[in-house]
Amino acid sequence: MRFILIGLAGCLLASVAPVTVASAQAEAGRERARELFAEGLSLTAEQQFAEAALKFREAYALVPAPNIAYNLALALTEVGELTEATGLAEAVMEDASAPEYVKNFASALLVRIEAGQAHLQVSLTGERGDAQIVLDGRALSDDELGISLPVDPGAHVVNAERHGTILERQELTLEPGATVEVVLTPSTWPGATEPGPTSAPVEGSGGGVVGAWWFWTIIGVVVLAGVGVAVGVAAGGGTEGPLDGNTMPTVVRF
């Protein structure tokens, strides 16, 4: 009987051990996430947003808490990576576990992102055949052609490619809030690698809405408004500042 009891105890220990190890690993991950989160908050306060984004991203990979997602979205917004920031803020809005005030922060951030988001429409004057249309290294689907796509402000490259050969290439830089159409011409593609027509605005002619003085006045206002928001965040004002998740009892913990 003694040997039987010893054997049963050994079995129980063997079954509990993996759970204990897993729990210890989970807690270690959470503790590391807390450290990374705190580092991200400090970097945000110093307006080192690119570095803060790296810390928040690493913390979010360990613990996908909504306040970490929001802070990562905020840091990405500050460095102009609005497309990814939008996805994170929307994820917070859809997270049933996220407190209402965190969703309010995310909602305010989405409004700010929308004001600065650029849009790019890629259109063709004919059939593309077996060619791929590639935007910044990503092949566009048929459903993405001919419609306005949200993109980050800054430099972009649109290629028409066939079996690794560039048939047409257009490079452009979008200002915050700009909407631009790129028109590709399949009839010029056979063996061509020279850049195609200059990127055209979606509306108007002779420079269109993008070339109008009043358009850039509006864009300037949007950019200045964004700067004002950024300064407010750095100063601790407004509703778009970083969310602390460790020391403030009214803020979600992880």
Write down the pLDDT at residue 27: 85
Domains and CATH numbers, the chain: 21-116+214-254 (1.25.40), 118-211 (2.60.40)
Average pLDDT, the chain: 76
- Predicted confidence (pLDDT) per residue in 172-207, tens digit: 999 988 999 999 999 999 754 444 444 555 444 344
Residue 90's nearest CA partner among 78, 73, 75, 76 is 73
Q: What is the model's pTM?
A: 0.62
pLDDT over 60 (residue 247): no
Residues in the chain: 254
Residue 38's nearest CA partner among 234, 250, 245 is 245
Range 32-48 average pLDDT: 94
Write down the pLDDT at residue 230: 31
Identity of residue 5: L
Query: What distance lies between CA 220 and its chain's CA centroid?
Result: 23
Residue 151's nearest CA partner among 169, 136, 161 is 136
- Token pair listed for 81: 């990576």
Count helices and strands in the chain by DSSP H and E runs: 7, 8
Looking up tokens 């993008």 gives: 210
pLDDT over 50 (residue 70): yes
- Predicted confidence (pLDDT) per residue in 86-129, tens digit: 999 999 999 999 999 999 999 999 999 999 989 999 999 999 99
How far apart CA 238 and CA 118 sit, in angstroms, is 24
Write down the pLDDT at residue 14: 56
pLDDT band with cut points at 50, 70 and 90 for residue 2 = very low
What Å distances lie between residue 103 and 8, 76, 100, 113, CA to CA? Answer: 51, 17, 5, 15
Whether 135 and 156 have beta carbons less than 8 Å apart is answered as: yes
How far apart CA 33 and CA 253 sit, in angstroms, is 12
- Token pair listed for 5: 């009891």
pLDDT band with cut points at 50, 70 and 90 for residue 211 = very low
Q: Please name the helix (run of DSSP H) or strand (run of DSSP E) that holds residue 97, with its range, or none.
A: none
Under DSSP, is residue 155 helix (H, G, I), strand (E, B) or coil? strand
